[in-house]
Amino acid sequence: MYADFLKTLAEVESWPKLKTKEDVEAYVKQNIADGADYQKLMHESGVALGAQFAYPTQEFQKWVTDTAHSHGLVVVAHATSLPDTLDVLRAGVDGLTHTFIDQPPTPELIAAYKERNAWLNPTLTAMGSLTAEGQADQELFAHHPLAQKYISEQSRSNLCKCMEFHAQTSRLEYAYESVRQLKAAGIDIVWYLYALY
């Protein structure tokens, strides 16, 4: 597993280091040349994960968003805390690839989604795995008879581990409540369904 971690770190280190508007323009054009039809922003301060990460400013994310939009791309974003979500909505993204778990939703959040006409793919399972609240469900799923023929022993072991990094204040209920409130406000919620059979 440590080897996989090192491989991931090496891959992240190979990512482009964008600093200027010219860097952003060249990067977006290269993505289009490579066949991309959307741009994804990573906007992760670490707040919901009990960590502190260096991450782009809202102004920089707006450069990327505006540039991608000027080339006809849809822009989505990863954010797992309420402040990070508000940042990318203000930067102009079209949708979020996760909801957040660090605090309850606010009227400001609803207004920001409405102003952008943005959608949400909440990825509740992924968000739950960041809170350590779903351990019993993970164990149950990993040992379900249908799962046995589809996942290896190593995968089963990994499934039974919480991701083990989260803020003590992070709660899955905040994610559920964000979906409830956004749906009630008319925001499009995008769901993916998976089945084991």
Reported pTM: 0.82
CATH superfamily of 39-131+166-197: Metal-dependent hydrolases (3.20.20.140)
Q: Across residues 30-55, what is the average pLDDT?
A: 93
Q: Which residue has the higher pLDDT, 16 or 45?
A: 45
Residue 126 pLDDT grade (very low, low, confident, very high; cuts 50, 70, 90): confident
Q: Report pLDDT for 133.
A: 76
| pLDDT score of 164 more than 70 | no
Q: Report pLDDT for 166.
A: 65
Largest CA distance in the chain: 54
Q: Report pLDDT for 13.
A: 85
Task: Return the sign of the alpha-carbon dihedral for residues 54, 59, 60, 61.
Answer: positive
Q: Report pLDDT for 196.
A: 45
| pLDDT score of 194 more than 80 | no
Residue 165 pLDDT grade (very low, low, confident, very high; cuts 50, 70, 90): low
Helix (H) or strand (E) holding 108: helix 107-116
Q: Report pLDDT for 69.
A: 98
Which residue spans within the chain are E strands per DSSP?
A: 38-42, 74-78, 95-96, 119-120
Which residue spans within 88-186 are E strands per DSSP?
A: 95-96, 119-120
Average pLDDT, the chain: 88
Q: Report pLDDT for 132.
A: 73
Distance CA 14, CA 122 (A): 29
Q: Report pLDDT for 26.
A: 96
> Which part of the chain is CATH 3.20.20.140?
39-131+166-197
Residue 61 pLDDT grade (very low, low, confident, very high; cuts 50, 70, 90): very high
